[in-house]
Amino acid sequence: MADRNLQKMASIDAQLRLLAPGKVSEDDKLVEYDALLLDRFLDILQDLHGQDIRETVHDCYELSAEYEAKHDPQKLEELGRVITSLDPGDSIVVTKSFSHMLNLANLAEEVQIAYRRRIKLKKGDFADENSATTESDIEETLNRLVGQLNKSPEEVFEALKNQTVDLVLTAHPTQSVRRSLLQKHARIRNCLTQLYAKDITPYDKQELDEALQREIQAAFRTDEIRRTPPTPQDEMRAGMSYFHETIWKGVPKFLRRVDTALKNIGIQERVPYNAPVIQFSSWMGGDRDGNPRVTPEVTRDVCLLARMMAANLYFSQIEDLMFELSMWRCNEELRVRADELHSSSKRYAKHYIEFWKQIPPNEPYRVVLGNVRDKLYNTRERSRQLLANGKSDIPEDSTFTNAEQILEPLELCYRSLCACGDRPIADGSLLDFLRQVSTFGLSLVRLDIRQESDRHTDVLDAITKHLGVGSYREWSEEHRREWLLSELRGKRPLFGPDLPKTEEIADVLDTFNVIAELPPDNFGAYIISMATSPSDVLAVELLQRECHVQQPLRVVPLFEKLADLEAAPASMACLFSINWYRDRIKGKQEVMIGYSDSGKDAGRLSAAWQLYKAQEELVKVAKQYGVKLTMFHGRGGTVGRGGGPTHLAILSQPPDTIHGSLRVTVQGEVIEKSFGEEHLCFRTLQRFTAATLEHGMHPPVSPKSEWRALMDEMAVVATKEYRSIVFQEPRFVEYFRLVSI
């Protein structure tokens, strides 16, 4: 088998040399990738199912290619005869083979794109003159801001270190491909890339080819789709696997590239380790809008699971850092801390090997970091026990309870190294570790909670009826606001254990109880879907207080449908005019806008234009009341859900709507494309950071009045036509079901 494979690879190489002597073009490279993968797969197919199946699949492949090239109907008829002549068993194998071959073709194209990009980077040919509108490297963006837009390096540095991009990973609503299969595809890509490296030896080539065959066969033998629906915990584990595989190390790697780009424009200072340049949040296990499987217990489980995973990631790195920081010179502050820790026999836990119990006192950094390691172990094990049993025998004071507690000893080591002339060492793995702690904290990601506004109305309706003051649901908006504010300004408890509860009401209240129970750094925002009025926000504020949430989550209204987007500015103006609410938000407000539901409601054109106008008006309202507004964009992967080129999408937002602060969803169906591999992770972080910086420092020009008038006119027509088909055509639902199967 190995000899046969090497001969075939040599044959492919020879064919390509004949095509282009002395040079392999980018298109030839794609042909080479495709040919190799197809050839390997057909060999595997023959070994598994015999020569006849191989020939059938190969014939179907050739007929399909000929029809695609020449559009000859006879080829299509011949292909149909071959397929219909197959017995049921063989037809399943052939169908699965073509599905697998399409996956392999996609992988070959992805490797070819990466190859083409590497060639351009080596030549310094980043893109054409219009690249700024589609995608931009961080180096290009900084150079353009300084060289073409006349920004000073100091201005760029100040803007960059103060901006925040928060990427919010959602669950996997349309990601049907199993994670195990995606990982096999990643290994195939990796093998293919290595096979055509210039410095590869014949032995390496043979071993890589065998590995490639194994992965192709393993992928072919793996069921393509999950036969049972994933639980929210499964979704969370799948989402968190990207942190373990790419994001965890990708963030410090990207920030080092930012440091290098800054140095090249004349800034010698590094981005501060605690600068919130990149942040991560999640909806996995927190998004209960319409999903009955996301219960309070699920929310509790995913928070504990995330804390356990974060502690484990830190723990897996801390000993490497201890090995690195073996120097004995330190400042007095670190020396005192090390002496205190080394003299304490309680510092060491029984699970550590004897070597680590004998850290000599003349290695102060290892002593201090050893204490960090012990507490990380306890932190991980306590979360594991709480997750498994609901209780733990590890005392909380022997663990880390917040990120600041981890940062303090690391900062101490950093200051000491710098004071002793070892700044280059401090700016190595220790700086990466500091940046990871600052980015991921102890919770790995902050979990957003999302609930539909009517569910809060149900709870408050039950409370007001129990109190005998009427039906909250039947009250006017003004009456609701008055009652909510009177309760928020007061201190009396609204209900006790005797409150009559349906299952739905108990679910809402138990969710708030979980928020109150767990450490506050587990959570990000509380998002109200289908928000329509100020009372929706005040209701959540009151429920947080009643459930004893000590550090209330910021409350974020989500405006989705066309009418809600139109009314959003007036709704927020009403909220900002309330003194109690302005004191509560301390000059900061977040508003989420939905791309998917607005598109379903009014059509893509009308929704996009209304989203644009709503943002403009919301910013005006926020400025009027002295509030800094952060827009949270609920974009999906497909165009119908707001998808499209990231860089262009950010640059096209209205002026002053980003201003150094951006939150955006990374929907489940595109997480793999954004973070599935190291280079994808790097490019994703680069796109968001570069575009946010450029939008803030060089905002787009507002549309002219005549353009606005034309867009308003087009939007009215587009909405009418869209709704006439989707909502008024009785045959549409049947048609949509048929074409969506």
Q: Is 592 helix (H, G, I), strand (E, B) or coil?
A: strand
Q: Is 730 helix (H, G, I), strand (E, B) or coil?
A: coil
CA 488 to chain centroid, in Å, comes to 35
Q: What is the DSSP letter of 244?
A: I
Buried b (16+ CB within 10 A) or exposed e, 465-492: eeeeeeebeebeeeebbebbbebbeeee
Q: What's the longest Cα–Cα distance across the chain? A: 89
Q: How far is CA 138 from CA 56, 255, 264, in A?
A: 50, 10, 11
Given 172, 342, 375, 456, which residue is catalytic? 172
Given 58, 600, 628, 698, which residue is catalytic? 600
CB-CB contact of 449 with 284 (8 Å): no
Q: How far is CA 58 from CA 42, 65, 75, 87, in A?
A: 8, 11, 14, 17
Residue with tokens 């940062």, as numbered in its chain? 407
CB-CB contact of 249 with 136 (8 Å): no
* CA gap 449, 142 in Å, rounded: 36
CA 371 to chain centroid, in Å, comes to 32
704 is catalytic: no
* CA gap 309, 244 in Å, rounded: 9
Phi/psi for 397 (5° steps) reads: -75, -5
600 is catalytic: yes
Nearest to 669 by CA among 285, 235, 327, 300: 235
* CA gap 192, 353 in Å, rounded: 41
What is the 3-state secondary structure of 471-505? CHHHCCHHHHHHHHHHHHHCCCCCCCCCCCCCHHH
- Paired tokens of 510: 């138990």
* CA gap 107, 496 in Å, rounded: 59
Residues marked as catalytic: 172, 600
